[in-house]
């Protein structure tokens, strides 16, 4: 049985994630079904726009279903993860570059793969229950699915803060950080979807949009900019350890807990994307260089074990902050030759 409900009604193509008991975690088959629908509707004149949403109250999509990648990685079968990420990233690029409007409805948990699914489309509607995050550094990975691009484009140093700490954003924060476009109370969503399908026009979005909720991140912007001013992980840790206040204390605990290699890689990735004025393709290609290597060479297996499999929340990282050298970072981000991501 499929975990997506794909159909057309009125002038809309409609994709709904239907795996609520698993918080709509994105499987490989779900990615392929979504991509096939996008390809089918691209040149279909009967489809004027696409609606992307999910069943259940708890999550739009809480991330990718990575347990199978973990199990394969333990056996030395690293191509399972590489295939998943290669094909998922291709779908992410198609969502970002789609020639027709795509309207995503973001509620509940929107994390990792959920950001890649709903965070790059042309019109991102967010509701009051949304909690958006890029939590990959906590599992020995890096922000991917194009999330590194959103982090690099966030105001000031918010991208570094969000990427390293995996802090969650409510609707106001997500709008401030550039992870969503407009706020519409969730009670109005069904009527809005019906209007979009009936008219095939995005005009109804502006009519329903409400003022953005308060953003604690906007209030704390200057403090975060100071604490995360550096692209050096040791310097950020020193700044956090020498600071007082709730934000600094929470961030310091997260930096102490998350994978040093992942955090250092994240800083390097964001710096490269900012310097190059990058687009979705360059972000995904850089992310794939890391994901191609990280199961075999990084901290991914230990991170997934601690957070998802055994759930002891006590990862034993191989590398300390001091052991993550510039050479190691450069090697993880080096071109892949024939294995480079092709989009």
Listing from the earlier edge strand, what are the strands of the sheet with 59-61? 59-61, 109-111, 131-133
Q: How sure is the predictor about 325, in pLDDT bands with cuts at 50, 70 and 90?
A: very high
Tokens of 130: 């949304």
Residues 159-173, mean pLDDT to the nearest whole number: 98
Distance of CA 282 to the CA centre of its chain: 16
Q: Is 130 a residue whose pLDDT tops 80?
A: yes
**What is d(CA 142, CA 299) in angstroms, rounded to the nearest whole number?**
10
Asked if 6 and 25 count as a contact pair (C-beta separation under 8 A), the reply is no
Q: List pLDDT tens digits, range 45-79.
A: 999 999 999 999 999 999 998 988 999 999 999 99
Q: Which of 171, 173, 135, 167 is nearest to 154 (CA)?
A: 173
Tokens of 80: 């399972």
Domain that holds residue 312: 4-339
**What is d(CA 33, CA 117) in angstroms, rounded to the nearest whole number?**
13
pLDDT for 277 equals: 79
pLDDT for 65 equals: 87
Q: Is 205 a residue whose pLDDT tops 90?
A: yes
Q: How sure is the predictor about 184, in pLDDT bands with cuts at 50, 70 and 90?
A: very high
CB neighbourhood size of 154 (10 A): 21
Q: Which of 271, 281, 8, 32 is nearest to 151 (CA)?
A: 271
**What is d(CA 82, CA 88) in angstroms, rounded to the nearest whole number?**
10
Residues 117-140, mean pLDDT to the nearest whole number: 98
Residues 239-256, mean pLDDT to the nearest whole number: 96
Percent of the chain predicted with pLDDT > 70: 100
Beta strands in 112-181 (DSSP E): 123-126, 131-133
Give the number of domains in the chain.
1
Q: Where are the alpha helices (DSSP H) in 98-188?
A: 113-118, 147-153, 158-165, 171-177
Q: List pLDDT tens digits, range 269-319.
A: 999 999 877 999 999 999 999 999 999 999 999 999 999 999 999 999 999
**What is d(CA 88, CA 91) in angstroms, rounded to the nearest whole number?**
5
Q: List pLDDT tens digits, range 27-50.
A: 999 999 999 999 999 999 999 999
The answer, as to whether pTM is greater than 0.85, is yes
The domain that holds 191 is classified in CATH as: 3.90.226.10
């Amino acid at each position: 049985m499929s975990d997506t409900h794909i159909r057309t009604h009125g002038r809309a193509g409609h994709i709904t994630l239907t795996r609520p008991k698993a918080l709509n975690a994105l499987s490989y088959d779900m990615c392929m079904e979504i991509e096939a629908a996008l390809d089918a509707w691209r040149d279909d004149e009967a489809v004027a726009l696409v609606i992307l949403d999910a069943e259940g109250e708890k999550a739009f999509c809480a991330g990718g279903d990575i347990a199978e990648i973990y199990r394969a990685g333990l056996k030395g079968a690293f191509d399972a993860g590489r295939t998943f990420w290669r094909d998922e990233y291709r779908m992410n690029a198609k969502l970002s570059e789609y020639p027709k409007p795509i309207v995503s409805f973001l509620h509940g948990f929107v994390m990792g793969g959920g950001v890649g699914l709903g965070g790059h489309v042309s019109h991102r509607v967010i509701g009051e229950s949304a909690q958006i995050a890029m939590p990959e550094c906590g599992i020995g990975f890096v922000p991917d699915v194009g999330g590194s691009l959103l982090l690099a484009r966030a105001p000031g140093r918010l991208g570094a803060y969000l990427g390293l700490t995996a802090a969650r954003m409510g609707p106001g924060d997500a709008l401030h950080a550039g992870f969503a476009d407009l706020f519409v109370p969730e009670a109005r969503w069904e009527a809005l979807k019906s209007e979009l399908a009936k008219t095939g026009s995005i005009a109804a979005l502006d009519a329903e949009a409400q003022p953005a909720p308060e953003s604690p991140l906007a209030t704390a912007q200057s403090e975060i900019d100071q604490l995360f001013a550096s692209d050096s992980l040791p310097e950020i840790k020193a700044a956090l350890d020498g600071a007082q206040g709730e934000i600094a204390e929470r961030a310091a605990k997260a930096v102490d807990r998350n994978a040093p290699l992942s955090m250092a890689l994240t800083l390097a990735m964001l710096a490269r994307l900012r310097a190059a004025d990058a687009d979705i393709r360059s972000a995904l290609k850089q992310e794939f260089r890391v994901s191609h290597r990280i199961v075999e060479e990084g901290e991914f297996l230990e991170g997934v074990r601690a957070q998802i499999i055994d759930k002891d929340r006590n990862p034993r990282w191989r590398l300390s902050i001091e052991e993550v050298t510039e050479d190691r970072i450069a090697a993880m981000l080096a071109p892949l030759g024939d294995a480079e991501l092709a989009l």
